[in-house]
């Protein structure tokens, strides 16, 4: 029998496939393009090779479900891969142009100068665009591997504020260039945690190493290494002419069903104002009140001072909401009224669902470790809000600035009727 006629090893057994062995429909899509992607310089995990034989079939010491090649992709349109030219770890995303007509053009736009090098640009970097030969109207884009914005959890209030500020800065930049995101939600904000861990983590199990089996230790907190956050998923986004300050069109239904504009689907609305609402509501859910319908997101203690900002951002009347730049200015004014002691304090996730209350021993260890780091950062003059330094950081320490006064003219009563088990990680250093 010639080499070309050899049967596929994975098909030689007549036994039914086990739950970890059988590929689902979306996985088969990627398996069928494994060899083509190799020609384009990208190698998928062994699970998606046409000649894959499960590792637990050939090694009796391995168990199905506990091996790297047992892991399925969590989203059918996304898959991780190795770039063969530089051995970097990347994510591939399948995009149907008819469904997301502006995602690729928007990513390409922010890859151009001067947008690309602007420090306010928080758009995920587009590494390459591939065109499958057998699919008209489909692209596969190559993106860097990032992790959820709150994984690991924030060590200080300042680290949480840094995330909010960076994302407001990024959203301001989008709006400045006429781009409305139109699908703001927790999972569309990501963290580059490379310097926090010092080694490659698994794309779909970021607590684990690249092999997907062993836990990866946290090396540094955000305060030590000042990471950058990124905005992803521009599938619903739209770029308007730069002169169109307040474009009006029918509301775009997305992840947050509480947007007041959705109550009147035939009434044109401003998508930039909807972005303000959805980001404000995300802050409310993730950092203050939580979501009663969520297994993992029950809010955090320590961010109640952001409620006036959230109330302004989520006003039912879109015309009364601040713009993104105005929102950023309001955030800076609020934080300027906080003491460094408050900013360096530790936020606490409100327990419930998958958020487990640590035992007494773990709580003591966490508190002691936090205080050691706090003393180290104070002595080392690390800014309490990680990405800010020098005079900018110093402005976040005036305890005499009144907070409520920044909102008296715009605050109205808001109709508020209308994300992961969490364990705390203690860094080995910093």
Instruction: Give tens-digit pLDDT for 25-41.
Output: 999 999 999 999 999 99
pLDDT tops 60 at residue 424: no
Q: Which of 152, 160, 167, 150 is nearest to 343 (CA)?
A: 160
Identify whether the C-beta of residue 154 lies closer than 8 Å to the C-beta of residue 117. Answer: no
Q: Angle of helix 271-283 relative to helix 324-336, nearest 10 degrees?
A: 30
Lowest mean pLDDT among 242-256, 360-374, 400-414: 400-414
pLDDT tens digit sequence for 92-118? 999 999 999 999 999 999 999 999 999
Number of alpha carbons in the 13 Å side-chain half-sphere of residue 355 = 18
pLDDT tops 70 at residue 134: yes
Q: Which of 251, 258, 255 is nearest to 416 (CA)?
A: 258
Rounded to the nearest 10°, the torsion over CA 82, 83, 88, 93 is -70
CB count within 10 Å of CB 9 equals: 12
Number of alpha carbons in the 13 Å side-chain half-sphere of residue 424 = 23
pLDDT tops 60 at residue 406: no
- Residues 382 and 378: their CA atoms lie apart, in Å, by 6
- Please tell me whether residue 41 adopts helix, strand or coil conformation: coil
pLDDT tens digit sequence for 373-403? 877 777 778 888 988 754 344 444 333 333 3
Lowest mean pLDDT among 197-211, 213-227, 273-287, 368-382: 368-382
Q: What is the distance of C-alpha 333 from the center of its chain?
A: 26
Predicted confidence band of residue 366 (pLDDT cuts 50, 70, 90) = confident
β partners of residue 201:
209
Rounded to the nearest 10°, the torsion over CA 428, 283, 163, 192 is 70
pLDDT recorded at residue 369: 79
Alpha helices in 59-184 (DSSP H): 103-109, 157-176
- Locate the domains of the chain by residue range: 25-144, 147-406
Q: Could you give phi then psi for residue 426, rounded to 5 degrees?
A: -105, 120
CB count within 10 Å of CB 350 equals: 13
- Residues 242 and 255: their CA atoms lie apart, in Å, by 26
- Residues 295 and 285: their CA atoms lie apart, in Å, by 13
Structurally, at CATH architecture level, domain 25-144 sits in: 2-Layer Sandwich (3.30)
Q: Could you give phi then psi for residue 119, rounded to 5 degrees?
A: -65, -15
Q: What angle do CA 269, 274, 277 make, to 5 degrees?
A: 140
- Residues 30 and 24: their CA atoms lie apart, in Å, by 10
pLDDT recorded at residue 412: 30
Q: Which of 430, 426, 296, 277 is nearest to 366 (CA)?
A: 426
pLDDT recorded at residue 201: 93
Task: Classify domain 147-406 at the CATH topology level.
Answer: Transferase(Phosphotransferase); domain 1 (1.10.510)
pLDDT recorded at residue 400: 35
- Residues 339 and 182: their CA atoms lie apart, in Å, by 35
Identify whether the C-beta of residue 223 lies closer than 8 Å to the C-beta of residue 156. Answer: yes
What pTM was estimated for this model as a whole?
0.84
- Residues 350 and 297: their CA atoms lie apart, in Å, by 8
Which pair of tokens denotes residue 146? 């990032």
- Residues 142 and 78: their CA atoms lie apart, in Å, by 10
pLDDT recorded at residue 390: 41
pLDDT recorded at residue 65: 87
pLDDT tens digit sequence for 42-81? 999 999 999 999 999 999 999 888 888 999 999 999 999 9
């Amino acid at each position: 029998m010639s080499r070309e006629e050899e049967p596929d090893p994975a098909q030689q057994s007549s036994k039914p496939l086990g739950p970890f062995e059988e590929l689902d429909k979306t996985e088969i899509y990627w398996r069928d393009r494994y060899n083509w992607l190799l020609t384009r310089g990208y190698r998928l995990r062994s699970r998606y090779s046409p000649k894959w034989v499960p590792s637990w079939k050939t090694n009796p010491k391995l168990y199905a479900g506990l091996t790297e090649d047992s892991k399925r992709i969590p989203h059918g349109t996304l898959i991780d891969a190795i770039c063969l030219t530089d051995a970097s770890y990347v994510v591939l995303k399948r995009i149907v142009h008819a469904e997301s007509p502006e995602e690729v053009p928007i990513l390409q736009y922010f890859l151009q100068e001067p947008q690309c090098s602007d420090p306010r640009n928080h758009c995920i970097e587009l590494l390459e665009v591939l065109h499958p030969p057998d699919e008209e109207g489909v692209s596969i884009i190559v993106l860097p591997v990032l992790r959820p914005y709150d994984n690991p959890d924030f060590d200080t209030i300042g680290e949480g504020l840094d995330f909010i500020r960076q994302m407001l800065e990024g959203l301001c930049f989008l709006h400045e260039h006429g781009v409305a995101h139109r699908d703001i939600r927790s999972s569309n904000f990501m963290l580059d945690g490379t310097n926090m861990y010092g080694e490659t983590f698994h794309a779909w199990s970021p607590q684990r190493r690249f092999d997907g089996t062993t836990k990866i230790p946290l090396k540094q907190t955000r305060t030590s290494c000042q990471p950058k956050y990124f905005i992803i998923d521009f599938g619903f986004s739209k770029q308007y002419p730069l002169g169109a300050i307040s474009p009006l069109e029918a509301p775009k239904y997305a992840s947050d069903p509480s947007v007041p504009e959705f109550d009147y689907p035939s009434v044109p609305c401003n998508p930039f104002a909807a972005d303000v609402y959805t980001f404000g509501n995300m802050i409310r859910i993730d950092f203050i009140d939580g979501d009663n319908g969520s297994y993992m997101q029950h809010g955090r203690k320590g961010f109640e001072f952001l409620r006036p900002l959230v109330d302004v951002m989520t006003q039912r009347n879109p015309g009364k909401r601040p713009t993104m730049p105005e929102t950023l200015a309001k955030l800076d004014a609020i934080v300027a009224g906080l003491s460094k002691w408050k900013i360096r304090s530790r936020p606490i996730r409100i327990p419930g669902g998958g958020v487990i209350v640590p035992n007494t021993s773990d709580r003591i260890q966490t508190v002691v470790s936090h205080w050691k780091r706090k003393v180290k950062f104070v002595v080392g003059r690390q800014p309490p809000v990680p990405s800010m330094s020098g005079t900018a950081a110093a402005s976040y320490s005036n305890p005499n600035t009144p907070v409520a006064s920044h909102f008296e003219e715009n605050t109205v009563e808001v109709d508020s009727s209308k994300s992961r088990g969490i364990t705390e990680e203690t860094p080995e250093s910093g």
